Every structure is written in structure tokens, then in C-alpha cells.
Structure 1
Amino acid sequence: MLIQRGGLKVVAGLGVSGVSVVNFLVEKGYRVAVTDSRETPPGYEHIPKHIDTHFGKLDQDLLLSAEEIILSPGLSPQTAEIQHALAQGIAVVGDIQLLRRATDVPIIAITGSNAKSTVTTLIGQMAQDAGKNVAVGGNLGRPALDLLKDQPELIILELSSFQLEMTSNLHAEVAVVLNISEDHLDRHGDMLGYHTAKHRIFQGVKHVVYNRDDSLTRPFVPDVTPMKSFGLTAPDMNQYGILTDLDGTIWLARGRERLITSRDLYIQGTHNVANALACLAIGEYIGLKQDSMLATLKTFKGLAHRCEYITTKAGVRYYNDSKGTNIGATIAAVDGLGQSIAPQQGQVVLILGGQGKGQDFTVLKTVLARYVKHVVLIGEDAKNIASVILNTVPVTFADTLAEAVKLSQQQSTPEDVVLLSPACASFDMFTGYVDRGQQFVASVEALNDDR
């Protein structure tokens, strides 16, 4: 017989993380109820049948009867019903807070506007290759609470700003903010709100890794907190960066020690050099052997939909960066690929557009002017983006992604790169960035090789 304990836990919002929270709490013997504004929320069929459910709207009376509300990251804490509960003194947390309470296993916490999925996956692979029993998830892949089923010795979490705004005192073994650029301002209000949410990752942190090329990533923590930096500059002693030989060879380095050349990485582009350096810094703090980490870097192929090489047709390379859902991601992709093109031999044709999320697209203009010969615009914010970049680079509009791919082919010549990196959310035209990326790949594969 399961003995129920404590007051009522109300899970607000289902979906993948909500389902994991419900099942975790039920297994631990808590009284649990669920409310969701959707009539048939995703995942409802995966929770126990005896659970009290209130669908179709957020049930204010149920929320006010809770001892604690566990808020799914897709629901803003500014939602009126949640604000009313907070005003009544009811605690509101997220699944990451539950994870921290449930285990003393060291947590590696990774966030940033861009590259967090790549870095989370790469450091997870490094740890696994080094023989550690590691569980990887959070905002990426498996929900955080499900990771406990593996009984890991190390947990590596990708964390979004939505998850972090409901998390306090994570006490991460290592925490890193990889970069900060405009994103989710429709949720956080302004850059200060977004920055504040991201930096909650450092509460109680034991070791810090930060990006010295981005001052917004460096936290205010006690002076005794060990810190390592990474960046695309020559590093100080015991820090991570790059050293460049007279012949142009770029080395990933720790202080003056050359570790591996950029051309020996499987994943290419300067943004991936930065990702690799971040992982080397994190790995040092968790005791991974340097030789093992470098061996992983030679074989790690990156992630689908993240600056993913698709094919070459008529001398033009095609890359899928559908996961580039904000301006910072697109700048990194264009900059990384642009630098990989031999000077005077080719440029980038860029497919941009979708739901802009209130971002300021003027910051794209510098990288567009440097590397991009033509932009093809799609999606509901296409005209808004065009009004900003029109005097920087030639622009063409497309009604569909398939049309955008054909127009990009027409604008490209051998040695060019065609890049889908929309800098926008996808929900105006697609079910998500995966759907957008898959449609891009299909459209590229349908092109004629002879143009």
C-alpha cells in the first residue's frame, strides 16, 4: 500500500516535463493533481489514471489548494493564475528544483542563448568516453527527473531560461553560461530579465566556466569560487583559447600548451572551436583526462539541425541550422561558415525568417555585410526583417521553404554556401525546428545537381 505524504502537489502544464514530474511525485508517494489550459494536453495518456486532472483552463481553485505548484517551463510564472497563487504565499518551483532536492549527484549545468545543446551533448560524450556513468538531459532530450532512473554518478543538464527562472540554489558542480544574445524577450520583458534568469544557474555554484569574449556570461560569485574562461583569443595560464601559427594553423590551447588543431575537429567553424574549448574547461573541473577529451573531439559529429552539413550540389554546400532560432545563433553560424570559405572564392546565401520574438535584427547587419551575398526571407516577420537589412544585402521573399531553397540555388555559384539559419521561431509555418529542418533537407535533396 502506497502511503501518501505531505500536502497537495499541483502540476501546472503537462507535456514531456510535466509528465515526468507527475510520475516522479506519484512514485514518491505525494498527493498529485494536474491542471492545463489545453483540453487534451500532450502526454495526458502517460500519467496514472487515478490522478485528479483539470483540463481546458488553469484551475484557480485547485492551484490555491496546493502546498506547492510545479510549473512546466512552457508556462510563464507571470500567468495571472500563477501570480495569484504566489500572492497567497504558495511556493512555485520547476522540475529542476525537484531534481536538486532528490539527489546529491554532482550536476553540470549548461545554458546560453546558443550552442547549449552542442556543448551539453559533447561534454556528455566526453564523460561517457572517459568511462563515467553519466546521464544527459533537461531541456535537451530526456526530462531531468527521468535521469535519476539511470542511477548516474554525474548529471549533465542543458537548462533554458524558462527552467532557470523557477530554480533556486542549484549548487551545480560546474555551471556555464556560454553566451547571451537577445532571445525570449516576449517572455522575460527585456535583456535584464533574460540575463537575470540565465544567471540563476550560478546560485551556490562550486566551479564556474565563462566566455571571456562575452562579458554578460561572467557571474558575480565569491572570489574564492574557482573560475575558468574560454574564448577565441590567446589564453592566459590555465585558461582555454586559441593560438595561431604563422602559417595560419589554429590550435585549441590551454595557456601556452597547444592541444589540437581546429582542422582535426570533426565539427567545423569558429563557433564550434568555442564549443570545444568550453567542454575542455568543464571536463578539467570534473576530472576528465585530457587525452580522452581530445580523442572525443576528433570523432564528435555534432547535432542534427545545428549547422549540419547536408550535401554539395553544383559546387555549392548546403547547411541546415534550423535550430538557430535567435539572432545570436545565426550570427555564430554565418560567422563560423563564412570564415571557412576561402577568401575571394565564395559567400553565404542565407535563408532567414519566421517568428521574430521581439528581437532587434539590426545586430545582424555586420555579419551579413561581411559574409552574405543574398538573403531569402520566409515567415510572418519577413517584412520586418527586410525593413532592417534591405540596405545591407540584397533580399528576396519566398512563400514556402521549398521555394526559398530554389531561390537560394539560383543566387549561389560554386564555392558558395547555402545556409538555413532562420534566427526565428518556426511555429508560424512548421510544427517546430525539427520539422523545418527536415523540410529543408528534403527540398535540398530534390534540387537538380546541374542547376
Structure 2
Amino acid sequence: MGQQTQVVVGLGKSGMSLVRFLARHGQSFAVADSRENPPELARLQHEYPEVAVHCGSLSVDLLSAAQILYVSPGLALSTPAIQAAIASGVTVSGDIDLFAQHARAPIVAITGSNAKSTVTTLVGQMFAAAGLNVAVGGNLGVPALDLLDDTVDVYVMELSSFQLETTSHLQARVAVCLNISEDHMDRYADLNGYIAAKQRVFNHAQALVINRDDPASQPQHTDTTVISFGLSVPAVGEFGLREHNTETYLAYGDELLLPVSQLKIRGSHNQANALAALAIGTAMNVPMAPMLSALQAFAGLEHRCQWLRTVQGVQWYNDSKATNVGAALAAIEGLGAGNAGKLVLIAGGDGKGADFSSLQAPVAQYCRAVVLLGRDAQRVADALAGTVKTEHVTTLQEAVLKAAQLAESGDSVLLAPACASLDMFKSFEERGELFAQAVGRLL
């Protein structure tokens, strides 16, 4: 086979969706992956035996001779072979760009350091409750290109910073960056590089939803429609919180929408998520009533501040998805503020080069003790020195038993690692499942 003008770089989940899309449209292309045995190799060879595959170190000649590279999110654009191709004039794109160019329905684009999956799922359920044929996916669940269907009324897409790096044609109907906290510092030169990638979501969007409590998440300048959300009292046209008859309400301007006591999802961070979802729906002109009924029914996602059980007066929560410091902060502050007792925090894992010092103040305020495990346990311990008691363990089972010893009746135990899981587990899901099993064995 001769030189291909299109090369799919990376053969994981999104790479395979690119293969299916290009093959379905009768296009000629090759595939390259830096790994000797990428996850989807066997499937590719079985279903598309005619496609040329190049595994192992990326070939500069192959990539530089192409016209366009579809680079998977897992590969940094700073990879030398990709940089060489860019320098020789090759266009770099990705699955989200291709999706946006072929989607016939409006796109809601949701990014942020934390809560993307929760808000994306919630918005999807709100739209479905309003009778719309909604397709939900992207970085969550089904890859974007696999969702394309002319019967869809609206696409609700979770987008990562890695996906946004290769996206130039998004033009979302509504775009939101929920929040910014330090993450993926092993991939970006500094926080500004990460923020710049996140803020690409706003490019050419028709309406923006912004978090007025988080300046780093807001666009530098815009001349388009903006709806804000935040935990303060909202002005006209904004979403926020209002107090009425000793109860806290979700509110739109002066209008009281729903007491937060009627939400199944707990914590101030989830109140912000609910307000963000309502703002997105309002920007899409979705009626309020079905959105509020969907919100009341929404019980949250697995591994995201998920309540597990009560044992001897102690509540147990699984937030294994808190794979960065910002997510752990949101969980500690969200649960701590609404909790009469103290928290026992279980944390540690692969810190991805993050700075843990911002955990100091909330841990000192809300936690009774911290149980640490994983590769960067000592780095977390050093950052928390002088706050509360810390205990080191080697397994998750030990962490659960130690936390059960430390917690007192009225307390909550929270798994919010502030770290990735890959030093000890296959995924954050596996970590959360093993935690839930260990909690289930407590007497």
C-alpha cells in the first residue's frame, strides 16, 4: 500500500472510533501507535485487515508525509514525531473536530477539571426528560464519532483538555468550562498551558455558561451570550443560591427553583453542578419543569462522592474519581461543610506531579485524620504536616480498616485520593469498586 494522506495516530477507544468513521465513509488511511500491542490492535486486524498498521516507535517519515493526522487524546502533541510532522506542514486534527464537522444537531460542550461527567450525564437526563432525542458521550462513555445520527436533537459532549488540543471546528451551541484546578501537570509545561487547552471550548461558541466563582475557568473576552452560575446570591439572569425560611434554594435570579435538601447529590460542589446544568439547559431554551424533575431524581454517578453505607454511625463515601487535588478539595469541602462530624480522608496514589499544599487548610478544618497509601503517599503526608494525624498503609483493605478505627460515630469516611490510580489499580473504577467491596465487608 502506498503512502496514506490520512493517518490515525493512537489505537485506543477514540482511535478505533476514527477507524470506523473513516472506513464507513470509504476513505483511505493508515494507523500508527507508539505501543507494540495497542488495545484495539486485534479488533482492527480482524475487522479492517486492509488497513496498514504501524506499531512501535512512531515513524517521522510516515507522519510527515501525510496531509492530516488524527491524533488520539492519549498522545501529547509535543511527541517528537508529531512535532516533526507539524513542522513539515501536516495538519493535526482529532475525533472531536471530525465529529463537529459532521454533526447536524447542536452541540453542548462541557469541560472542566472536575465534575464533567456528573454535569454531562445530568444535562443529558434533563434534556431527555424534556422530550429531546439526546446523545451523550465524548470523553465519557461512547466516543463522539459513534454517536453521529441524523435523528439526534442535541449532542451533550464531555470534552477533556487533551481532546480540545486538536479541536478547531467545534462551534458549540453552548460551551462551559466548569472549573479549573491543577491537573495533568505531567503533560503540560505549566498551569497556563492547561488552562489554554480548556478554554478552546469557547472558540466560536454561540452561548457560554461560566462559573463566576472561578476566574481561571472564564474566557478572557467574549461578545456572545453569557449565563453564569455560582454559589453566591444570583443577579437577574444568573443561577445561584438563595436563603428562604431557613432553607437554601437553587435560584434563577429572584426565582426560587428547588430546596437543596431535595437533591439526592450532596455537598456544595454538587449544588454548583446542579446550577451549571440548569444554566446549560436554559441557554438551550429547555423548559425548567422537566429539568427540575430530572435533577430531583438524579442520584449521581458511581465513584463520584457516592454514598455507600452507614456502619456504626459512620457514613462511607466513594469518590475514587477524585484523581486530582481540585476534585479532592471539592469533595472534602462539599461533604465537610454539611457534616456535623469530622471526615476521615483516604488519599494517595500517582500524584501526576501535582502540588498538594492546597489540601492543608480544608484538611485542618474538616478532617479528623488522613489515611495514606500509594506511590505519592509521603508527598501528600509532607504537604499535610502539622494539620491532623496521618497514617500510612499499603493496601486499600488496610486503609478501610484503619479508617474504621479512626472514625467516630457521626463522622464520614471519604475516599478522595487527589491522585490517579494507575500505580496500584487498572483504573479509578477498579479502585472505587475494591473500596466499596471492602466497606461492604465491615461489620
What TM-score do you get using the length of structure 1 for normalisation?
0.95
- Residues 191-210 of structure 1, C-alpha deviations (whole Å, 9 max, x = no match): 10000000000000100001
Deviation at 1:50, TM superposition (A): 1.1
Residue matched to 2:203? 203
Deviation at 1:7, TM superposition (A): 5.8
CA contact (8 A) 1:32 1:51 kept: yes
Residue matched to 1:135? 135
Q: Distance in 1 between matches of 2:405 and 2:243?
A: 37
Residue matched to 2:423? 428
CA contact (8 A) 1:8 1:30 kept: no
- Residues 284-305 of structure 1, C-alpha deviations (whole Å, 9 max, x = no match): 1112110111111110111000
Amino acid at match of 1:429: M
Residue matched to 1:17? 14
- Residues 226-284 of structure 1, C-alpha deviations (whole Å, 9 max, x = no match): 1010000000001000001352x110000111000001112111111100000110001
Q: Map 1:1-150; keep pairs closer than 5 Å.
A: 8-47=5-44, 48-149=48-149
Q: Distance in 1 between matches of 2:397 and 2:213?
A: 37
SS in 1 for 2:231: coil
Amino acid at match of 1:240: F
- Residues 118-149 of structure 1, C-alpha deviations (whole Å, 9 max, x = no match): 00000000001111011000000000100104
Work out whether 1:274 is the aligned partner of 2:291. no
Amino acid at match of 2:21: F
CA contact (8 A) 1:135 1:150 kept: no
Residue matched to 1:240? 239
CA contact (8 A) 2:64 2:86 kept: no
Amino acid at match of 1:235: P
CA contact (8 A) 1:180 1:216 kept: yes
Q: Distance in 1 between matches of 2:233 and 2:142?
A: 37
CA contact (8 A) 1:211 1:229 kept: yes
Amino acid at match of 1:367: P
CA contact (8 A) 2:313 2:411 kept: yes
Work out whether 1:416 is the aligned partner of 2:414. no
Amino acid at match of 1:112: G
Amino acid at match of 2:263: L
Q: Distance in 2 between matches of 1:254 and 1:102?
A: 35
Deviation at 1:358, TM superposition (A): 1.3
Residue matched to 1:377? 372
| Count of paired positions | 439
Deviation at 1:150, TM superposition (A): 6.7
Q: Distance in 1 between matches of 2:221 and 2:283?
A: 17
Residue matched to 1:316? 314
Deviation at 1:103, TM superposition (A): 2.2
Q: Distance in 2 between matches of 1:83 and 1:151?
A: 39
Higher mean alpha-carbon deviation, 415-424 vs 46-55, is at: 46-55
What TM-score do you get using the length of structure 2 for normalisation?
0.97
CA contact (8 A) 2:227 2:283 kept: no
SS in 1 for 2:148: helix
- Residues 321-340 of structure 1, C-alpha deviations (whole Å, 9 max, x = no match): 00000111011111111122
Amino acid at match of 2:133: N
Residue matched to 2:305? 307
Residue matched to 1:187? 187
Deviation at 1:151, TM superposition (A): 3.6
Q: Distance in 2 between matches of 1:40 and 1:75?
A: 15
Q: Distance in 2 between matches of 1:111 and 1:383?
A: 31
Which one of the candidate residues 362, 365, 369 is aligned to 2:360? 365
What do you get for the CA RMSD once the two structures are aligned?
A: 1.4
Runs of 4+ in 1 over 6 A off after TM superposition: none
Q: Distance in 2 between matches of 1:142 and 1:150?
A: 17
Higher mean alpha-carbon deviation, 97-106 vs 138-147, is at: 97-106
Q: Distance in 2 between matches of 1:196 and 1:214?
A: 15
Deviation at 1:46, TM superposition (A): 2.8
Deviation at 1:153, TM superposition (A): 1.6
Amino acid at match of 1:193: G
Deviation at 1:57, TM superposition (A): 2.2
Deviation at 1:220, TM superposition (A): 2.7
Deviation at 1:388, TM superposition (A): 1.2
Residue matched to 1:227? 226
Amino acid at match of 1:32: F
Amino acid at match of 1:177: C
Q: Distance in 1 between matches of 2:442 and 2:190?
A: 42
Deviation at 1:311, TM superposition (A): 0.7
Deviation at 1:19, TM superposition (A): 0.2
Amino acid at match of 2:31: V
CA contact (8 A) 1:176 1:210 kept: yes
Q: Distance in 1 between matches of 2:243 and 2:361?
A: 24
Work out whether 1:351 is the aligned partner of 2:322. no
Residue matched to 1:3? none
Deviation at 1:392, TM superposition (A): 1.1
Identity of aligned residues (%): 49
Higher mean alpha-carbon deviation, 171-180 vs 148-157, is at: 148-157
